[in-house]
Structure 1
């Protein structure tokens, strides 16, 4: 969130499930091949990492924070400058208490400024809205009390034989989390998930205003 979010509901010790999309695609290919070869059976396969190669939310955060601080210049769409703010995961009750306590004075200040003619929302209030929106979407995943297992999927891969097992790997134990999160995950977000930022100079803005 480009340092708009510094506090988030989550359990650092909780095991989160992170899985590269190519492993998901491989799982679909293997299960589809089995379904075509042996139709009429009901199958449930889970492509997941928690059971075989667990990573905690705290480790996930630490990897991303370390990479962003060390190599922020390589991720020009993600970071405008070297990150300096912390990213803290706290329990939900504390998060709600802090957000409520901060929102009240900011909302009052924003209303007063609007009455005085200011048409723009407070930046801190916008950041607070961003935090709450992200917490609503991702809060369930950042405080997990469950662990998924892929025993059935691994059994399927073994039944397919060594050739297909090598061509379509589904074993999350092969993932090096430090390498994946720091060099692949962040690079993918930077390249595909965010649009290139537009930079306008003050001179250009004035020229557009005169032209209008």
Structure 2
């Protein structure tokens, strides 16, 4: 990293050029070790560091999947900023998204933020007097899966009934999203529809490459430890109405149409 920075500065690179060069270097470093980007790479590094330095201290690791807006607390639909799939919801609601790269039958793994917090609190209590080390996967892909092809339909239904009002005070019309099931199809679509060159360096292609490791992930996450934690909490007479974190309780259609997308519209879209 220092060598790269020195070379850029010797060449008189601007701060903007340095920022993009460092991002590119970080991505290459991550992919070298098997991670698609620096975000997940540094999360893995942090976890490895904890395992290496834990000594005799019992360690609990919580691995949530995609965290979405709150299910109930502090109130339904609260969210701060647009991340991962939520950024696409914002762009779609503003009428700027007409296609999306994904495996339509792929499972998207989501957990509301308050469920993640509740699981962390219960895990903290469960492990307080234990000597063992444990990893909890917090996700919905096994117990209550939802597939990518459902998301555009829910988005269309919500924003058609509740259109975003633009700066001119006019409601924005949305259309149904086309799901493209391969990178080749994605690039071909971009060429035919928008006359963008079939090159890797187009910004749209970069977005496709960014999401590719996730939208084509043919996997679900083992949540056996979390299921055991749920059972132990119920047997220990934990107030599950207060410390709820069972993804099986989520009605995805109701949550997305009445909680999550309204939360996106209220707290994120400007």
User: Larger relative CO (CA 8 A, sep 6+): 1 or 2?
Assistant: 1
What does residue 157 of structure 2 align with? 66
| Contact 1:47 1:150 (8 Å CA) reproduced | yes
Task: Quote the Cα distance in structure 2 between the aligned partners of 1:175 and 1:168.
Answer: 14
The partner residue of 2:121 within 20, 29, 32 is 29
What does residue 255 of structure 2 align with? 180
Superposed displacement of residue 30, structure 1: 1.2
What does residue 141 of structure 1 align with? 214
Superposed displacement of residue 151, structure 1: 2.2
**Which of the pair is proportionally richer in helix?**
1
Superposed displacement of residue 35, structure 1: 2.4
**Which of the pair is proportionally richer in strand?**
2
Task: Quote the Cα distance in structure 1 between the aligned partners of 2:176 and 2:106.
Answer: 19
After TM superposition, the score normalised by the length of structure 2 is 0.56
Matched, 1:56 2:147: yes
Task: Quote the Cα distance in structure 2 between the aligned partners of 1:76 and 1:162.
Answer: 47
Stretches of structure 2 lacking an aligned partner (at least 5 in a row): 1-90
1:153-174 residue CA offsets vs partner (Å, 9 max, x unmatched): 1211211223343321111010
Deviates more, 1:1-10 or 1:95-104: 95-104
Correspondences of 1:34-53 after superposition (within 5 Å): 34-38=126-130, 40-53=131-144
Superposed displacement of residue 138, structure 1: 2.9
What does residue 104 of structure 1 align with? 197
Superposed displacement of residue 89, structure 1: 1.1
Superposed displacement of residue 184, structure 1: 0.8
Task: Quote the Cα distance in structure 2 between the aligned partners of 1:80 and 1:30.
Answer: 47
Matched, 1:95 2:168: no
Matched, 1:168 2:243: yes
Matched, 1:4 2:96: yes
Superposed displacement of residue 76, structure 1: 4.3
Tell me how many residue pairs correspond in the alignment. 169
Matched, 1:86 2:179: no
C-alpha RMSD of matched pairs (Å)? 2.6
